[in-house]
């Protein structure tokens, strides 16, 4: 009980999850869990924690669009950010602002798709 109170004081939270086999299979498929560790609670917890940490760093948000929209995560290289700046889609002062980068990239991609030839 003392450890539980100390964790709460530090802001730590313990959660209980019930995972179906397809979730652990997906963790393996995506590389967050080694296949032999599918039955290891500690390994699953580490995989989920790593996945959550990565999603937070990438600023992944829940989809807010229609159900027919697809959301995905991608890595944007520094050279792409430099290109967005040089083409005027992103201000140089915003090159470290993830929100501004995402907004600029979305606008650029939207414009590129709008002018691309349709087959």
Q: What is the largest CA-CA distance in the chain?
A: 66
Residue 87 has a pLDDT of 93
Please, which pLDDT band fits residue 16 given cuts at 50, 70 and 90? Answer: confident
Q: Each residue of 66-116: pLDDT tens digit?
A: 666 666 667 788 999 999 999 999 999 999 888 899 889 888 888 887 776
Q: How far apart are CA 56 and CA 44, in angstroms?
A: 18
Query: 86's torsion region: left (phi>0), alpha (psi -120 to 50) or beta?
Result: alpha
Q: Each residue of 32-42: pLDDT tens digit?
A: 999 999 999 99
- Ranking 6-10, 63-67, 92-96 by mean pLDDT, the lowest is 63-67
Residue 83 has a pLDDT of 92
Q: How far apart are CA 32 and CA 55, in angstroms?
A: 12
Q: Any idea where the domains of the chain sit in the sequence? A: 2-57, 78-115
Residue 94 has a pLDDT of 94
């Amino acid at each position: 009980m003392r450890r539980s109170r100390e964790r709460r004081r530090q802001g730590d939270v313990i959660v209980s999850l019930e995972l179906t086999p397809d979730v652990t299979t997906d963790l393996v498929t995506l590389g967050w869990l080694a296949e032999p560790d599918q039955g290891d609670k500690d390994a699953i917890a580490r995989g989920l924690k790593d996945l959550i940490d990565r999603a937070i760093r990438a600023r992944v948000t829940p989809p807010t669009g229609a159900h027919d929209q697809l959301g995905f995560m991608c890595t944007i290289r520094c050279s792409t950010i430099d290109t967005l700046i040089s083409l005027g889609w992103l201000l140089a002062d915003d090159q470290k602002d993830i929100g501004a980068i995402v907004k600029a990239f979305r606008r650029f991609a939207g414009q590129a798709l709008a002018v691309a030839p349709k087959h």
